[in-house]
């Protein structure tokens, strides 16, 4: 059964992030001038203030920066426990997403775990979630 | 004291009835608190020429903020020289900081600051569980990156708590001492919402909400209003109470404005504000007698103690285990029970309690009558603001 979720409103600005999963890729904004990855959406690069920015596919590899195992069903039909996590993408120090760690025993998740992206499709949204890599 | 903000003093405090599902209107509660504070200061309603609140009326979240400054102005027929309310500032105390600047610059003489919540009554009517939104809404802005994955602030805070425990070795037994001690304080506060005894065994046996945060690590929504009178120093002669000096305040925020992008996940906006605070005063952390720090979730207490440089991160577990934060401890905190046990007055309760203690009005929970300096730190995650109050003049 699908986890009930309150979804993002997909717009011209954020569609790169919420829909790139339909092709199995995670897209993150990147500055073409200085190479800096940017998350969340911005019309300019916060490092060099450049305006030539565009989404780019990333590896989907990440490390768990922190996590929490939620036990409270906040929404009707919500399946618990689930793991809410902050992961740091391999491409850049400090480039982080919030996500869920899925398809594992929540009790096995630890800070520092390598994880890789997967997607859950709801309506017009492909939510990036992450799975543990290896044993 | 800082030559800017020390032109501001606190001259009176007031609180409405506080409780669960009171089914009274927000304006009714606000008026009760406001008139109590004005009376406590020895002022009359006609003396109030400034009005300030946080976060301003939230039409789509009436439990969180049901009363606009316009409604208060009209209800009390205030003749104002200055007024303000808005969310985009340094946490819940931002409305007070703005009032401090208003009196320090001569825009107003006596500013009524208030914060009102009727979350308990609204939740009782709607039975809503998630922090924000419902399944038929769609999200924008920063929340779109949080809520699809975790619709509760306990999730957003749980990741800070997990990382804090991981990096600094804080144990559940040590963190549990926050909830246990605050309940003991609440039992000496006649208006605290929770009065039943709470032991560490009770805490450890409680159901988990979002690891490592259990039920007793989460504060309790209530109905209630708090009012604080911020006055110009040169306008406080002949009033009812010795004025409390605003030694310094800070709402500095230097890192990412985000619940997950701050480089060090064991810190919050609080740490920027705390560091900047000490650059605005000759006082030092050693001068602080008591601290009232935000406890929407228990983990914010150790984080604020670190942010205000009152306890080092590596020493925090031992400090809590030894009861350093209890009424009889080295640094009593949240002496009225905090939000965990007295109810979510959303930061204004902390400022109110600091004033209660400095004026020696704490009754059974009064730490002692020789308190000179109180630190107040309010906010969680990307919200944070802090101030130092003293009896020095």
Question: CA-CA distance, B215 to B298, in Å (whole number)?
Answer: 10
> Do the beta carbons of residue B176 and residue B275 sit within 8 Å?
no
Inspect the interface and report whether the beta carbons of A84 and B210 lie closer than 8 Å.
yes
CB contact under 8 A, A76 and B211: no
Check CB contact of B381 with chain A, cutoff 8 Å: no
- List, for chain B, all residue ranges whose pLDDT scores fall below the cut of 50: 129-130
Is residue B294 within 8 A of residue B380, CB to CB? The reply is yes
| B contacts of A21 (beta carbons < 8 Å) | none
Provide the residue ranges of all domains of chain A, joining segments of one domain with +. 15-132
pTM of the model: 0.97
A1 touches chain B (CB under 8 A): no
| Distance in Å, alpha carbon of B86 to nearest chain A alpha carbon | 24
Query: Which residues of chain A lie closer than 8 angstroms to B149, CB-CB?
Result: 5, 84, 98-100, 127, 129
Distance CA A29, CA A3 (A): 28
Mapping DSSP to helix (H, G, I), strand (E, B) and coil, where does residue B144 land?
helix
- Residue-range domains of chain B with CATH: 5-125+222-241 (3.40.47.10), 151-216+245-390 (3.40.47.10)
What's residue B124's pLDDT? Answer: 82
What token pair was written down for B123?
């939740």
Q: Do A6 and B161 touch (CB under 8 A)?
A: no
pLDDT at residue B369, as a whole number: 81
pLDDT at site B125: 81
Q: Given this model, what pLDDT does residue A135 score?
A: 66
C-alpha dihedral, B135 to B136 to B140 to B145, nearest 10°: 20
Locate the chain B residue with the closest alpha carbon to A101: B149
Cis peptide leading into residue B193 (ω within 30°):
no
| Residue numbers in B near A100 (CB within 8 A) | 149-150
Within 147-186 of B, beta carbons closer than 8 Å to A belong to 147-152, 154-156, 158-163, 166
| Contact state of A97 with B145 under an 8 Å Cβ cutoff | yes
Question: Are B208 and A14 a contacting pair at CB < 8 A?
Answer: no
If one counts every other C-beta atom within 10 angstroms of the C-beta of residue A68, the result is 31
First-to-last alpha carbon distance for chain B, in angstroms, is: 9
For residue B130, what pLDDT is reported? 46
- Yes or no, beta carbons of B139 and A7 under 8 Å apart: yes
The ipTM value here is 0.97
Tokens of A30: 């990147």
- CA pair distance A21, A127, nearest whole angstrom: 7
pLDDT of residue B43: 98
Which distant-in-sequence residues (6+ apart) come within 8 Å of B236 by Cβ? B9, B11, B243
pLDDT given at position A1: 64
Q: Which residues of A touch B265 (CB under 8 A)?
A: 65-66, 86
pLDDT in tens, B114-148: 999 999 999 888 755 445 567 888 999 999 999 99
Is residue A7 within 8 A of residue A125, CB to CB? The reply is yes
Are A68 and B161 in contact (CB < 8 Å)?
yes
Residues of A whose CB is below 8 A from B137: 6
Cα(B294)–Cα(B345) distance, integer angstroms: 10
CA angle B201, B205, B211 (to 5 degrees): 120
Angle of helix B300-307 versus helix B153-168 axis, rounded to 10: 60
């Amino acid at each position: 059964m699908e986890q009930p979720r309150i979804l993002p409103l997909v717009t011209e600005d954020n569609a790169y992030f919420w829909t790139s999963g339909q092709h199995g890729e995670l897209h993150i904004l990147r500055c073409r001038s200085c190479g800096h990855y940017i998350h969340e959406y911005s019309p300019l690069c916060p490092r060099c203030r450049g305006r030539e920015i565009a989404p780019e596919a990333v590896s989907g590899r990440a490390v768990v920066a922190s996590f929490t195992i939620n036990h409270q069903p906040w929404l009707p039909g919500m399946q618990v426990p689930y793991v809410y996590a902050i992961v740091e993408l391999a491409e850049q120090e400090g480039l982080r997403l919030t996500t869920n760690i899925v398809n594992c025993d929540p009790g096995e998740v630890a800070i520092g775990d390598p994880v890789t992206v997967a997607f859950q499709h709801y309506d017009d949204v492909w939510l990036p979630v992450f799975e543990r890599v290896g044993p | 004291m800082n030559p800017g903000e020390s032109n501001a003093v606190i001259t009176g405090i007031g609180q409405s009835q506080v409780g669960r599902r009171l089914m009274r209107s927000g304006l009714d509660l606000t008026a009760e608190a406001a008139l109590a504070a004005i009376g406590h200061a020895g002022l009359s309603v006609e003396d109030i020429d400034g009005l300030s609140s946080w976060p301003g009326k939230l039409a789509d979240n009436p439990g969180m903020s049901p009363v606009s400054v316009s409604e208060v102005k009209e209800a009390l027929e205030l003749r104002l020289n200055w007024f303000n309310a808005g969310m985009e500032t340094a946490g819940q105390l931002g409305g007070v900081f703005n009032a401090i600047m208003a009196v320090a610059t001569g825009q107003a003489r006596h500013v009524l600051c208030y914060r009102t919540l009727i979350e308990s009554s609204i939740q009782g009517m709607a039975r809503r569980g998630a922090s924000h939104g419902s399944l038929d809404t769609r999200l924008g802005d920063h929340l779109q990156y949080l809520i699809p994955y975790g619709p509760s602030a306990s999730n957003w805070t749980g990741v800070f708590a997990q990382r804090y425990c991981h990096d600094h070795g804080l144990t559940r037994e040590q963190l549990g001492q926050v909830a246990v001690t605050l309940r003991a304080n609440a039992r000496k506060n006649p208006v605290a919402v929770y009065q039943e005894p709470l032991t560490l065994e009770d805490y450890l046996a409680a159901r988990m909400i979002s690891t490592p945060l259990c039920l007793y690590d989460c504060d309790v929504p209530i109905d209630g209003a708090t009012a604080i009178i911020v006055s110009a120093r040169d306008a406080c002669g002949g009033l009812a109470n010795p004025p409390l000096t605003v030694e310094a305040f800070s709402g500095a925020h230097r890192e990412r404005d985000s619940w997950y992008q701050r480089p060090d996940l064991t810190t919050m906006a609080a740490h920027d504000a705390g560091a900047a605070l000490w650059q605005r005063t000759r006082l030092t952390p050693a001068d602080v007698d008591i601290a009232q720090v935000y406890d929407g979730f228990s983990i914010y207490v150790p984080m604020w103690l670190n942010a205000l440089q009152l306890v080092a991160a590596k020493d925090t577990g031992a400090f809590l285990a030894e009861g350093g934060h209890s009424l009889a401890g080295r640094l009593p905190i949240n002496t009225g029970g905090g939000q965990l046990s007295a109810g979510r007055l959303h930061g204004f309760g902390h400022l109110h309690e600091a004033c209660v203690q400095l004026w020696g009005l704490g009754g059974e929970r009064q730490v002692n009558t020789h308190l000179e300096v109180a630190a107040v730190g309010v906010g969680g995650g990307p919200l944070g603001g802090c101030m130092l109050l003293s009896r020095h003049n």
